[in-house]
Amino acid sequence: MNKEQRQAIKHTEGPLLIMAGAGSGKTRVLTHRIAYLLAEKGVPPYNVLAITFTNKAAREMKERVHKLIPDPEKAERIWISTFHSMCVRILRRDINYLGYENSFSILDPTDQNSVIKGILKNRNIDTKQHHPRKVLSYISDKKNELIDGKTAISEAAGFTDGLYSEIYKDYQEILYRNSSLDFDDLIMLTIELFKKEPAVLDYYQNRFQYIHVDEYQDTNHAQYELVNLLSGKYRNICVVGDSDQSIYKFRGANIENILNFEDDYPDAKVILLEQNYRSTETILDAANAVIGNNTSRKPKNLRTERKGGKKIKTILADSERAEGQEVLRQVMELSKEYSYSDMAVLYRANSQSRAIEDAFVKGSIPYKMVGGMKFYSRMEIKDLMSYLKVIQNPHDDISFERIINTPKRGIGQKTVEKLLAYGSMNGISMYEAVMQADFVGIPKSAVVTLVKLDEMLQNLKEKSKYMSITELVDEVLEDTGYIDALEKEDTLESRSRIENLEEFKTVTREFDNENEISDDLLFNFLSDMALVSDQDSVEADSGVTLMTMHASKGLEFKVVFVVGLEEGIFPSQRVMYDEDELEEERRLMYVALTRAEDQLILSRADSRMIYGKTESNVQSRFLNEIPAELVDGEVVEIDSSKSKSPFQKSGRAHRRTPTVLTDNSGVTFKVGDKVAHKKFGDGIISNIKGEGDSKELDIIFTKEGPKRLLANFAPLEKKE
DNA sequence: TTAGCTGCAGTTTTT
DNA sequence: CTGCAGCTAA
């Protein structure tokens, strides 16, 4: 511990702001501070609260606190959780004060989208003029500002604003009727609850006498209010953050919250952590130089004892394909010195992962991708989840609409519309409308089907009371005929869906192992699932990590590649002429650079495909901001796919043909063939397109799911 | 009511 | 190039 860190740990009473630079050991400080509170100050564990933004951060903090506190029972009683899951716990107890059911559902963004689409349709609004995303971001902004529908309408200025505020009101009414909450509601309604029921607030104020907030620069207005309410009584609030790492403005984060902390709490103690324990001097010099170009910031300079260090390498490729190849080549070279899991490739947007991924697949380099194709957003998983949500909360129309005709049971759109109309006319949910199906004016056959569906759901609800989640999932898949329908379909796709459902059961089994059967079991499972992101599924196994720069925050790697450093890509086209947003973009660059411990490799492409068109951009201004003396020479990579043979590489002499590349040109593949891949294991070919060297195979792998590979170069073996 | 086709519009980052 | 919405045919 250095002097500042020790100070931060021992300053336990009153407001405390810790300005913690990247890699300055802030988690270490927080965990030790909690341990100090318990051990030295005799604070009971249930009086301590620590809030993070991500599940991963919460989990890590929990683990580290457990190591510091000898008594696991005690450590268990400290609340360490994300904003959102903390609010779920609070609302689960007392949301009925606000008129919602305690068995409320949590909407994911897809669900939100369908609610908005429904409203737009009802109001005959053109979705091209008023994109659902625009409307949703309007609503999210309002909720983050704690403005309700009514107020929004009265404050609206101009036509669009007026319209959106009306939609907001509709949206909120629908959610209320369905006892459904979106992510922003979790925060907003918790605040509403505290304001409406002072006794509830009082309970939590007394409960949480020592409050810690991680990544404080990322809090939005609602979260800021929430923290202030909770800490209002004892004022023992410790916030940690780094204004240079504020990269979530688009999501409502307000950097002023951290910058004005001293105004909010004039008696606040401020501690700066500038000692970096992660990166070499070279890396920090680069990062400091880049961030120094931001004008609206508090000056701060990270220092390190790791003097010198490897020079920064740069790559200039002539296409995004070539960029992938060169990254691949350097990864293989560096793999002599580092293991794959020590390396990461960072990019601005998820769509950029494709080229990198292709190169890695071809080169048989193990990698793990964060984000991108989301397991939980697959159709079959969403269907199953919808069944579970309806069992938990029958008023959840969004989920109910999804399952009412899944699998197909002859309930058409007309019937659904009538049920919805009947429901909204009588102020009831669709499920309640179903119970009154006789009066809705739908065909007799549909009524019979609906009665059967209702019986089945009732039955499943009974079962849910004594079954584990895994058992319940099995029952759902059986009783609803979902599995049957898939088995009957018997296509490559349906088989892959069945496998995904099997895969899902490993998640439920894990949950069942950690949780006893209780009345809260299904609720807890569903809220856990709603709040996990794909960020959390980053496993610790080996492989190069591929992810967005945003997702990389809080992580560190020995070697970091940053790709796509071109104007228009990074900084993104959309922010280039807005000074504030440009500064945010620069902070993102700062975050990316400071992830590296030993070695940075910065890459750009001369031209790349964007929406099928080839575009050229000059190199990113952020590259120009790095002092030349920190940078090694540049590697130039020519796109080999443009020459006749992919092995005939032009360019540099030192480049060797990667030996792992295989040549399948003698083998013919056809749809349905079973194959074995060096990394992905067994799979089956579902589609073939293209000719010659660019012939591609779509393969559904048993373990890894669907992938697209180049027929001639993927390390494949035909089976049987 | 459903499946299949065609045309169209869209790409930032996420708890 | 891709996913989605809306249309048409069965």
pLDDT in tens, A440-457: 777 788 888 888 889 999
Q: Is the CB of A239 under 7 A from strand B?
A: no
Predicted TM-score of the model (pTM): 0.82
The pLDDT, as a whole number, for residue A652 is: 29
* Confidence at residue A432, expressed as pLDDT on a 0 to 100 scale: 85
Nucleotides of C under 7 A from a protein CB: 1, 5-6
Q: Which pLDDT score is estimated for A693?
A: 46
* A245 belongs to the catalytic site: yes
Averaged pLDDT of chain A: 85
A706 within 8 A of A496, measured Cβ to Cβ:
yes
In this prediction, residues A297-325 reach a mean pLDDT of 88
Cα A546 to Cα A451: distance, rounded to the nearest angstrom: 49
Q: Is A635 helix (H, G, I), strand (E, B) or coil?
A: strand
**Catalytic residue (one of A4, A214, A397, A598):** A214
pLDDT for residue A8 is more than 50: yes
- Residue A597 is predicted with a pLDDT of 95
Supply φ then ψ for residue A365, to 5 degrees: -90, 125
Reply yes or no on whether the pLDDT at A664 is more than 60: no
| Rounded Cα–Cα distance for residues A291 and A293 (Å) | 5
Q: Flag whether pLDDT at A523 surpasses 50.
A: yes
pLDDT at site A644: 31
pLDDT for A639: 64
Low-confidence winner among A108-117, A122-131, A309-318, A544-553 (lowest mean pLDDT): A122-131
pLDDT at residue number A32: 96
DSSP strand pairing (A367-369 vs A613-616) = unpaired
Residues A597 and A548: beta-carbon distance below 8 Å: no
Is A25 annotated to bind a ligand? Reply is yes
- Protein-covered nucleotides of chain B (CB closer than 7 Å) are 1-3, 9-15
| CA separation for the pair A715, A658 (Å, rounded) | 12
What's the pLDDT at A653? 28
A380 CA to B4 C1' in angstroms comes to: 21
Q: Is A252 annotated as a binding residue?
A: no
Gap between the Cα atoms of A285 and A634, Å rounded: 19
Give A376's pLDDT tier (boundaries 50, 70, 90).
Answer: confident
The residue from A4, A5, A26, A244 that is catalytic is A26
Q: Which nucleotide is nearest to A689 (CA to C1')?
A: C1
- 3-class secondary-structure state, position A230: helix
For residues A6-42, one letter each, b for 16 or more C-beta atoms within 10 angstroms of the residue's C-beta and e for the rest, the string is ebbbeebeebbbbbbbbbbbbbbbbbbbbbbbbeeee
Mean per-residue pLDDT for A43-66? Answer: 92
Buried-exposed string A637-664: b where 16+ CB fall within 10 A, e elsewhere: bbbbeeeeebeebeeeeebeebeebbeb
pLDDT band with cut points at 50, 70 and 90 for residue A695: low
Task: Specify the DSSP class assigned to residue A558.
Answer: E
* Active-site residue flag, A26: yes
Rounded percentage of chain A residues whose pLDDT exceeds 70: 87
Per-residue flag: A159 CB under 7 A of strand C: no
Give A229 CA → B15 C1' in Å: 21
**Nucleotide whose C1' lies closest to the alpha carbon of residue A127:** C5
Q: How far apart are CA A381 and CA A45, in angstroms?
A: 38
Query: A716-718 and A674-677 as β-strands: parallel, antiparallel, unpaired?
Result: antiparallel
- Model confidence band, residue A312 (pLDDT cutoffs 50, 70, 90): very high
Res. A10: pLDDT tops 90: yes
Q: Which tokens sit at A209?
A: 């006498």
Our answer to whether residue A160 is catalytic in this structure is no
Residue A708's nearest nucleotide, by CA–C1', is: C1
User: What mean pLDDT is predicted for residues A352-378?
Assistant: 80
- Whether A679 is catalytic is no
Tell if A611 CB is < 7 Å from nucleic strand C.
Answer: yes
Q: Evaluate if residue A358 carries a pLDDT over 80.
A: yes
Q: What percentage of chain A exceeds 90 in pLDDT?
A: 49
Whether A316 contacts A634, CB under 8 Å: yes
| Chain Cα centroid distance, residue A343 | 21
Is A190 catalytic? The answer is no
Write the pLDDT tens digit of every residue in A15-24.
999 999 999 9
Check residue A499 and give its pLDDT.
82
Mean pLDDT value across residues A355-369: 86
pLDDT tens across A604-614, in order? 998 888 877 78
Instruction: Please identify which of the residues A52, A209, A217, A245 carries the catalytic annotation.
Output: A245
The residue written with tokens 């490993």 in the block is A506
Question: What is the band of A709 on the pLDDT scale with cuts at 50, 70, 90?
Answer: low
The pLDDT of A251-267, averaged and rounded, is: 91
Structure confidence at residue A665 (pLDDT): 44
Segment A233-255, tens digit of pLDDT = 999 999 999 999 999 988 889 98
**pLDDT tens-place string over residues A127-176:** 778 888 889 999 999 999 999 999 999 998 888 889 999 999 999 999 99
Do residues A419 and A442 make contact, with C-beta atoms less than 8 angstroms apart?
yes
Asked if strand C contacts A374 at the CB level, meaning under 7 A, the answer is no
The larger pLDDT score, comparing residue A460 to residue A318, is at A460
Number of alpha carbons in the 13 Å side-chain half-sphere of residue A324: 20
From the Cβ of A158, is strand C under 7 Å away? no
Residue A27 is among the residues annotated as catalytic for this protein: yes
Mean pLDDT of A696-700: 63
Residue A272 tokens read as 């700066």
A101 phi/psi in degrees, rounded to 5: -75, 145
| Stretch among A51-65, A335-349, A488-502, A542-556 having the lowest mean pLDDT | A488-502
pLDDT value for A719: 62
